[in-house]
Amino acid sequence: MKYLLHLICTLLFIFPFGVYAQNIAEVEAAVGYNATNIEPRNDPAMNKWRYNRFGQFFHIGLYTTFGAEYDGQQAKAGEWLKSEFKLSDEVYNKALNEFNPFKFNASDWAKIDKTMGTKYMIITAKHHEGFCLWPSKFTDFTIKNTPYKKDMLGPLFEAYNSYGIDVFFYYSILDWNHPDYRAIISSPEDKVAMERYIGFVIKQLDELLTLYPQLTGLWFDGQWDTAYKSNPEWGWKIEEFLRKKKPNIIINNRLRSDVNGKLDRDKSDKHYGDFDASFEQKMPDPLTKYLNTDWETSSTLMNNGWSYSKKWQGEIKTSKSIVENLVKATSANGNFVLNFAPTPEGSISEYETKISKEIGSWMSKNNKAIYGCGAINLPKPSWGYYTQSKEKVYMIMFQKPSSKLIQLPFQSEKIKSVKLLNNDNIKLSRSKSKDGTLIIDLTELNQDNIANVIELQF
Ligand code: JFZ
């Protein structure tokens, strides 16, 4: 609706009375393929997304079978292996005969996520390699033609939705397998081929939304090749199709470009789609830059690879650092997504299971400081972060302050109660400074392995 209004206003501005857009192409040109959600969406689906704060990513595909290794060499990112080692289709596609996640059990995965406290999951329905985790009618390059044979996407809905966890699909525009995909267009034939490819994408998305009506949204990626980004009508057309087919669908911003080929955000710095997902492995800088925008950051557990790796390399993140990033994102009105890389058997690794329990044990006591929470208008304190929801402010302490008494920037008389969320046995005594601000005595407090959360009720 908002988008329509915006469109009409733009048109009235560009085409004065008596002149009107002849056809849809003119309408599109008029808006320059700019962002269409000028204000954040405020419908139930998007409010739920914003409430969720914590999501789970899964990268699994043919690349999983290589374990990020080829010919004794370690790939930088497992899911990029085909491109990194310049493997031919012939060599790479042998993995079709290897892909067999026979231990995959959607309800095991869902239980892990339920324990960890994630509220939505995103799975790689199709990554850059072009392989489909569902038996698509529009290509043979699917799970149906592997030893596993079965659909991996369908079973997720029952398992996850029964815990109230939403399912999203990752879908890559970039496709290393499809014969019509073009990274650059150097002839009229290339353009025709790429147009056929866009038709294929729309057919596949139609298929996904028809087969899986419970799907909450789509996480696009791989929109950066010159051919695609310099033809903004394609991304526009795909988005238009999706919004018509499923009006409450949630789409990230990595699907479109504007007339200048700008990705992620248009020239007025408005993100495309419903939220900005261009913070892969990072956060807005400064952190408070996008407080009025829906955004999401995603993170690997191990260096920059998103898929299964036989060898775990580089720095592996701890549950404390993951929780800290979740809290940090929440404190700036963003969502945080943690990636897991299922094994070739389709199970969750030991380290990931251990991490999910550690995070889950913290979340089960402290999730009130995360779900439905957001930014407070105060500078970041040295001991951690503030978050807030309605009449509550949460102090999430990753380091216990060195002084026993801390003075807070709140009028004491306005605070009804002060309580530690993760331990009922410890009572925190309070007092009031000369200027009436709240002082809390932390003498009794022991630093939690991850973080203590103090709830202030207004
Ligand atoms: C993409 C993929 O290439 C990668 O394999 C993985 O699936 C990841 C989640 O997404 O990589 C990205 C995505 C976003 C940015 C950079 C790389 N970004 O916004 O900077």
**pLDDT tens digit sequence for 82-92:** 999 999 999 99
Quote the pLDDT of residue 70.
Answer: 98
Tell me phi and psi for residue 238, to 5 degrees. -65, -45
Give, using CA atoms, the residue closest to atom 6 of ligand 1.
Answer: 306
Cβ atoms of 131 and 186 within 8 Å: the answer is no
Beta pairing, strands 334-340 & 295-299: parallel
Q: Is 298 in the pocket of ligand 1 (CB under 6 A)?
A: yes
Q: Is 306 in the pocket of ligand 1 (CB under 6 A)?
A: yes
Q: What percent of the chain has pLDDT over 90?
A: 89
Q: What is the mean pLDDT of residues 254-258?
A: 97
Q: If pLDDT is split at 50, 70 and 90, which confidence band does 26 have?
A: low
Return the best residue to mutate from 121, 306, 336 for the ligand 1 pocket (most ligand atoms within 8 A of CB). 306
Strand arrangement, sheet containing 392-397: 384-389, 392-397, 452-457, 417-420
Q: How far is CA 24 from CA 61, 134, 167, 236, 240, in A?
A: 38, 33, 33, 11, 11
- pLDDT per position as a tens digit, 367-390: 999 999 999 999 999 999 999 998
Cβ atoms of 342 and 104 within 8 Å: the answer is yes
Nearest ligand 1 atom, CA 264: 19
Cβ atoms of 77 and 66 within 8 Å: the answer is no
Quote the pLDDT of residue 29.
Answer: 55
CA of 278 to the centre of ligand 1 (A): 8
For 275-358, list the strands marked E by DSSP: 276-280, 295-299, 334-340
Sign of CA dihedral 82, 85, 91, 96: negative
Beta bridge partners of 418: 456
Q: Is 28 in the pocket of ligand 1 (CB under 6 A)?
A: no
Nearest ligand 1 atom, CA 59: 7
CA of 161 to the centre of ligand 1 (A): 26
Distance CA 78, CA 90 (A): 18
Give, using CA atoms, the residue closest to atom 17 of ligand 1.
Answer: 280
What is the distance, to the nearest Å, from the Cα of residue 314 to the centroid of all Cα atoms in its chain? Answer: 23
Cβ atoms of 454 and 397 within 8 Å: the answer is yes
3-state secondary structure 213-262: CCCCEEEEECCCCHHHHCCHHHHHHHHHHHHHHCCCCEEECCCCECCCCC
Q: Is the pLDDT of residue 5 over 50?
A: no
Q: Is the pLDDT of residue 27 over 70?
A: no
CA of 221 to the centre of ligand 1 (A): 7
DSSP assigned state of 275: B
Query: Which amino acid does the sequence have at 152?
Result: M
Q: Is the pLDDT of residue 245 over 80?
A: yes
3-state secondary structure 99-122: CCCCCCCHHHHHHHHHHHCCCEEE
SS3 assignment, position 374: strand
Q: Is 276 in the pocket of ligand 1 (CB under 6 A)?
A: no
Q: If pLDDT is split at 50, 70 and 90, which confidence band does 425 have?
A: confident
Give, using CA atoms, the residue closest to atom 16 of ligand 1.
Answer: 280
Give, using CA atoms, the residue closest to atom 3 of ligand 1.
Answer: 222
> What are the structure tokens assigned to 169, written together?
């699909």
Distance CA 68, CA 76 (A): 8
| Nearest 10 degrees: Cα torsion 319, 325, 326, 329 | 180
Token look-up 């990554």 returns 127
Cβ atoms of 282 and 299 within 8 Å: the answer is no
> What are the structure tokens assigned to 57, written together?
């990513």
CA of 152 to the centre of ligand 1 (A): 22
- pLDDT per position as a tens digit, 108-158: 999 999 999 999 999 999 999 999 999 999 999 999 999 999 999 999 999
Per the model's pLDDT, the better-predicted residue between 142 and 3 turns out to be 142
40, 7, 298: which is closest to 168 by C-alpha? 298
3-state helix, strand, coil in the chain (%, to 5): 35, 20, 45
Q: If pLDDT is split at 50, 70 and 90, which confidence band does 16 have?
A: very low
Q: If pLDDT is split at 50, 70 and 90, which confidence band does 18 have?
A: very low
| Cα-Cα end-to-end distance for the chain | 36
Q: Could you check whether the bond before residue 286 is cis, i.e. omega within 30 degrees of 0?
A: yes
SS3 assignment, position 362: helix
CA of 304 to the centre of ligand 1 (A): 9
Beta bridge partners of 297: 279, 336
- pLDDT per position as a tens digit, 172-207: 999 999 999 999 999 999 999 999 999 999 999 999
Beta pairing, strands 73-74 & 69-70: antiparallel
Beta bridge partners of 56: 121, 338
Give, using CA atoms, the residue closest to atom 10 of ligand 1.
Answer: 221
CA of 147 to the centre of ligand 1 (A): 29
Q: What is the mean pLDDT of residues 230-259?
A: 97
DSSP string, 6-67: HHHHHHHHHS-TT----SHHHHHHHHTT--S-SS---SHHHHHHHHH-EEEEE--STHHHHT
